[in-house]
Amino acid sequence: MTRQEPFAAMIASLMMYRRPELDGAIARYWGLIRANLALSGVTAPQELSQEAEEFAVWTDPELVLSQTCGMPYRLWLKDKVELVGTPDFGLEGCAPGYYRSVLVVRTDDSRNRVEAFLDAIFAFNESFSQSGYAAPYAHMMSRGFWFEHRLRTHGHLNSARAVAEGKADIAALDAVSWRLIKVHEPFAQKLRVLDQTEPTPGLPLITAEGQPADTIFDAVRVAISQLDDTDRQLLGLKGIIRIPRGAYLSIPNPPETARG
């Protein structure tokens, strides 16, 4: 089937900051986006494919909307998708649409400088994660070292829990994920922020080549303004902005970027 046929297998997903506590708000957010798209003549799936494998979603030729990470975008997706825009989560110390990593350790760990963690176990979600790997790699290398002992966890929540439970000593977390963890996870009381990386462009919204990216941008922008106060606060959304493609591509990659 082609995109022009009315029953094409379109797909959309907003899984990047998904938590059970947010599922209702995300569904209502998508309902607003979908309604705005329909007003502009753009067809979108009724339901989000939140359980689908992320790379399968990002590379689907029928992708209407998803959110990816800056590192997969610059490594593998930049020539296969179109940028829609970047949600702004209003993070302190970051320009609109930008974010950073927080380096968290246990509250009872007496070390107060990242250099003291040279021989520590570092927990990270994936080696292709901007916030979990690339940003802390640049941060540490500017200080002359990288962690020799690393624990791959497959998720920021898992990384934070690994530190809280003593399976790792330090972890790099997306600042938005950390904000959500502090609200929803009791174990967050066992963690403190030791340091923060420099801000980089946040997680971009993307669509398949040939989709009307500007129309989708407007649909998202209006949807954010239509969210009720409770849902907007739950999701932490302030708006959506345009960050140039070059701003994503200019960020250096660490040497280890394997998928899977």
Count of beta carbons in the 10 Å neighbourhood of residue 35: 14
155-166: average pLDDT: 98
Helix (H) or strand (E) holding 126: none
Output DSSP code: residue 119. Answer: T
**Residue that is written with structure tokens 């320009």 in the block:** 95
Residue ranges, CATH 3.40.190.10, the chain: 11-90+201-249, 101-198
CATH class of domain segment(s) 11-90+201-249: alpha beta
CATH topology of domain 101-198: D-Maltodextrin-Binding Protein; domain 2 (3.40.190)
152-163: average pLDDT: 98
Full DSSP string of 33-51: HHHHHHHTT----SS--TT
Quick: pLDDT tens for 38-60.
Answer: 999 999 999 999 999 999 999 99
- Assess whether pLDDT exceeds 50 at residue 245: yes
Q: Tell me how far apart the alpha carbons of residues 32 and 93 are, in angstroms, rounded to a whole number.
A: 30
Residues 107, 191: contact at Cβ < 8 Å?
A: yes
- Assess whether pLDDT exceeds 90 at residue 1: no
Quick: pLDDT tens for 105-154.
Answer: 999 999 999 999 999 999 999 999 999 999 999 999 999 999 999 999 99
pLDDT of residue 257: 63
- Assess whether pLDDT exceeds 70 at residue 2: no
How high is the mean pLDDT of the chain? 95
Q: Tell me how far apart the alpha carbons of residues 152 and 35 are, in angstroms, rounded to a whole number.
A: 39
